[in-house]
Amino acid sequence: MIAIGSDHAGFALKQAIMAHLKELGIDFKDYGTYDDKSCDYPDYAEAVCKAIIEGDAEKGILVCGTGIGISIAANRHREIRAAVCTDEFTARATREHNDANVICLGGRVVGEGVALGIIDAFLNTEFSNGANHVRRIAKLS
């Protein structure tokens, strides 16, 4: 299951991502926000990260205006490796090399088509499990 959340600035893009996941038959849960009224991104990062940490979700998708603030909030958790991605290459690389379990997008940065390609790359790429990568990830936590 994929946990997904956004603040008001990421709300529209989150809606498009959820429609895409539904089309692909990928199970997800929306942790808010549920409208485009101003709100605080750390609250939604916390909810998505908690779902992953507690084993209710395998991966997470977070969206705010730039992807940066919500990634900072997510990365406050030792078990979370959240990466801001703006293209498919970085989405694949962060899975292969960093075993990222959360992807962060900027609703004001990437368009819908690019965002859906990024999501597909993130969800369809496995961790390479190379010795160098495993060693480096161990140092993160």
Model confidence, pTM: 0.95
User: Based on the structure, what is the number of domains in the chain?
Assistant: 1
What does the buried/exposed string (b/e) look like for 98-137 if buried means 16 or more CB atoms within 10 Å of the residue's CB? Answer: bbbbbbbbbbebbeeeebbebbebbbebebeeeeeeeeee
Vertex 19 angle, CA 16 and 24, to 5°: 125
Q: Which of 105, 100, 98 is nearest to 16 (CA)?
A: 105
Active site (catalytic) residues: 64, 97
DSSP 79: T
Which tens digit of pLDDT belongs to each residue from 71-127? 999 999 999 999 999 999 999 999 999 999 999 999 999 999 999 999 999 999 999
Residue 70 belongs to a domain with what CATH number? 3.40.1400.10
> The domain containing residue 12 runs over which residues?
2-140
